[in-house]
Structure 1
Amino acid sequence: MVLMRAFGLESPRATIEANEKGWHGEAFFPGSEAFAKLDDPPLDHSGVIAATAASVFHAGVIAEMIDAGATWTGPILYAEASDFQRANDMLRPAFGNNASGAHAFAQQVALHILSTAWSEVEAIAEELMRGGEWVATS
């Protein structure tokens, strides 16, 4: 949700629930009407727009890394996870399949934004843990 806000989008809500593996959380994307209000992006020959947008999908793993006090030392490749697959789908046209440099760039964008807004991340996480759902207030 924090990355979506940084990019000018409002996530309508997020949920979290306990399961046999621990916790499963999901951030919901804004409805199509939110995207209809945005200007079309310029041609992205460099792939920077795609790699920046893909950071939204890497935000969860980066938030877990920050929370654990770990240091990012290189691209985190977790190919079986749906978030990684979504990021990879976004990056593939410009960089090819499983392009570690593109994933690294996207993860560094997520790391920068989440580190800067960590108090907001913690507030949203606290609400999620308390009630299982966070809903945007606008």
Structure 2
Amino acid sequence: MTYAFPKSSELYRVFPFVEPPPVLRGPDLTRTAHHEAGHVVLMEWAGLTPTKAHATEREGAAEWNLEEITTEPDQAGDDTPLAAAHAAAVFHAGIAAELIHVGHRWQGVTARMRSSDWAHARLILSRHVGHSLAGHGYAQRVALAVLTKRWPRVQEIAAELTERGTWSPEQ
């Protein structure tokens, strides 16, 4: 299953909200590993430097070098709705990777409403698209397109997370 990179003209297209399918519920180390690996691969795509990730059956995290994010005035040109959607894709990459991993086709904005991933994506997008689902659908479709093209990299990192529980670029 592959996904095309969405056209920028679709940024404000509203997709329905859908609950995560039942197959994405409950503890599962392999699924969590793919979730975190999805974040790492989107970070790499976005030009961020992932520093580490960890995964257990119930939780995980992927981190990047926060020193790379700056508020210098010469980066103000990146403060656009499209750039915000690309940044939000990093946070939506986890659930996108889970959908790909279990073979469930994306059917609309898929989120765990209480997750920090959803909260961060919402914070990034709200300034540009308000609190509607517009922008989230675009960001999730970006994540799906990038991850399906880079799926071998996702699997490589997920395998490391499954085997060792941690991943870092040095491994």
Bin for the TM-score computed over the shorter chain: 0.7 to 0.9
Q: CA deviation at 1:95?
A: 0.7
Which of 124, 132, 135 is the aligned partner of 2:165? 132
1:134 and 1:111 map into 2 onto residues whose CA distance is 22
Q: CA deviation at 1:77?
A: 3.5
For 1:72, what is the secondary structure of its paired residue? Answer: coil
Give the 5 Å matches for 1:77-96: 77-96=111-130
Q: CA deviation at 1:30?
A: 1.2
Unaligned runs of 5+ in 2: 1-39
Change in Cα spacing, 1:12 to 1:43, as seen in structure 2 (3 Å) is closer
Deviating above 3 A after TM superposition, structure 1's stretches of 4 or more consecutive aligned residues are none
| Pair 1:9-2:29 in alignment | no
For 1:89, what is the secondary structure of its paired residue? Answer: helix
The match for 1:48 is 82
- The higher relative CO (CA closer than 8 Å, separation ≥ 6) is in 2
Q: CA deviation at 1:35?
A: 2.8
Question: Residues 57 and 87 of structure 1 are in contact (CA less than 8 Å); yes or no, is this contact kept in structure 2?
Answer: yes
Q: How many residues align?
A: 130
Unaligned runs of 5+ in 1: none
The match for 2:144 is 111
For 2:147, what is the secondary structure of its paired residue? Answer: helix
User: Match for 1:100: what amino acid?
Assistant: L
Q: CA deviation at 1:41?
A: 4.3
The match for 2:95 is 61
2:129 and 2:134 map into 1 onto residues whose CA distance is 9
1:118 and 1:41 map into 2 onto residues whose CA distance is 32
Q: Give TM-score, length-normalised by structure 1.
A: 0.87
